[in-house]
Chain A
Amino acid sequence: MAAADLIPVNIVTGFLGSGKTTLLRRLLASPELANTAVLVNELGEVGLDHLLLRHVDESTVVLPSGCVCCALRADLTAAIRDLYSKRERGTIPRFDRLAIETTGLADPAPIIFTLLAEPVLRHHFRVGHVVTTVDAVNGARHLAQHPESVKQVAVADRVVLTKTDLAGPAQAEALRTACRRVNPAAPIFEPAVDPIGPDQLFAGDPADPSGTRQDARRWLGPVAAATPPETGVGQASAHDRDVYAFSVTVDRALDWTAFGIWLTMLLHAHGEDILRVKGLLQVVGVPTPVVIHGVQHLVHPPVHLDGWPTADRGTRLVFIVQKLPRQVIERSLAAFTRLAAVGERVV
């Protein structure tokens, strides 16, 4: 099935009390999201009222590998399959988007895994933007103390800073800095200052058929911001100090197969510590850019853009890693991708 026919799924995550339900309630009031189905874990606290609201009881089935990210969420599988079959039978409106609100401590990776791996879901749904709420009053402490919080920010495509009106300017700025260091590519929104619409948060991911090349460029993030200092700055401590982002640029086209060998091997050995890898690739023999996107051990189906976002060609990869040495990753990538350049002539 073509990507355009898949129903986008947006994951809304964030720590306890960070305001994700408030955000979701505000977004769902807008007419653009009238056709959005919603899955929530906790029902009724903040009085979400929506035609297509469903409740799931969080339960995880861990695969025999024992890996935390590669776990199938049985609750989500059942709930989404049920929504989809009702949609097909016409017993509920034909929703064109699904939003999943996670619990505060939930790891978004198994949700992504479930959507990518579950045989029925992967044929009808695709993973859209992940939206993470961070509250300006407690966010810095959560990032320092809880690896779950760091992970939620790392996998975000959009960060929503809440309660900035309750925090001091210095506090808010320190949190912005911390978020940018963990995930420089995700734009930060502050609804207390600037109201945000659903299109800014949910739409425009690389696989969105209504998205533009510029969206893909933005999704990858600014080059300069993607190379922060590797040592801890400011108030960063404990968990978030180990996590940093960097970008790698390659000036020539990559051999897809050599890249695939390298990335599968890298994720095999270090997937737990690669919170995010995304890239716009120039591939030998492919005229247009290929977008790749991985979260820990998982790699989304690659997306082909219809053209380059800017005059710049070449490959740019952005990594968000935990403790892994940047120089070694760069040297390893260069060595592996050169395997195809020598000997074997690429057709």
Chain B
Amino acid sequence: MCGLCGVLGTEAHWTDAAGPDSRSGAPPGGRTRRQERLHRVGLANKVLKHYGLTLADWEGNCFVLRTRTGRSAIVQHLTALWPVAERMTGRRCDPLDPQLIAAVERE
């Protein structure tokens, strides 16, 4: 619901610092930054589809979240994603929701 997004703006997000060397910001597993962003979008979409949403990379520096009806919003990182997803769908994005867990398990 809040987190650091409002304050940090475009600064590094904690999910961007897992590579073998946190200072370089290189993604884990030898992926390029582009491959990592596509991986991120791919995984997020497996969750977001249960809300009728899709996420896409936008020029390598942010993400675009879209509804089925074509509304869209820009998000900077994963923390910023969930409140926007809730606003766009009017549904609560809760990973402890049994229905969501069951859907994710079927993926």
CA distance A262 to B95 in the complex (A): 7
Q: Is A20 an interface residue (CB 8 A)?
A: no
Q: Is A51 an interface residue (CB 8 A)?
A: no
Tell me which residues across on chain B come within 8 A of A258, comparing CB atoms: 43
Chain B window 69-88, contacts with chain A (Cβ cutoff 8 Å), 1 for yes, 0 for no: 00000000011011100000
Tell me which residues across on chain B come within 8 A of A72, comparing CB atoms: 7
Chain A window 241-254, contacts with chain B (Cβ cutoff 8 Å), 1 for yes, 0 for no: 00000000000000
CA distance A327 to B89 in the complex (A): 28
- Is A63 a contact of B29 with CB atoms below 8 Å? no
Q: A342 touches which one: B1, B17, B107 (CB < 8 A)? A: B107
Q: How far is the CB of A124 from chain B (nearest CB, A)?
A: 14
Tell me which residues across on chain A come within 8 A of B104, comparing CB atoms: 332, 335-336, 339
A-B contact count (CB 8 A): 157
Tier of interface size on chain A: 35 or more
CA distance A283 to B15 in the complex (A): 12
- Is B7 a contact of A268 with CB atoms below 8 Å? no
Tell me which residues across on chain B come within 8 A of A286, comparing CB atoms: 18-20, 28-29
B interface, over-half SS: helix
Q: B35 touches which one: A270, A300, A347 (CB < 8 A)? A: A347
CA distance A66 to B1 in the complex (A): 10
- Is A347 a contact of B101 with CB atoms below 8 Å? no
Residue of B nearest to A270 (CB): B96
Known: A261-B44, A269-B82, A335-B104. A284 touches B17 (CB 8 A): no
- Listed in ascending order, the chain A residues whose CB lies under 8 Å from chain B are 2, 63-67, 70, 72, 113, 116-119, 255-258, 260-262, 264-271, 283-288, 290, 292, 297-304, 324-325, 328-329, 331-332, 335-336, 338-340, 342-344, 346-347
- Listed in ascending order, the chain B residues whose CB lies under 8 Å from chain A are 1-4, 6-8, 11-12, 14-15, 17-23, 27-31, 35-36, 39-40, 42-44, 46-47, 78-79, 81-83, 92-96, 98, 101, 104-105, 107
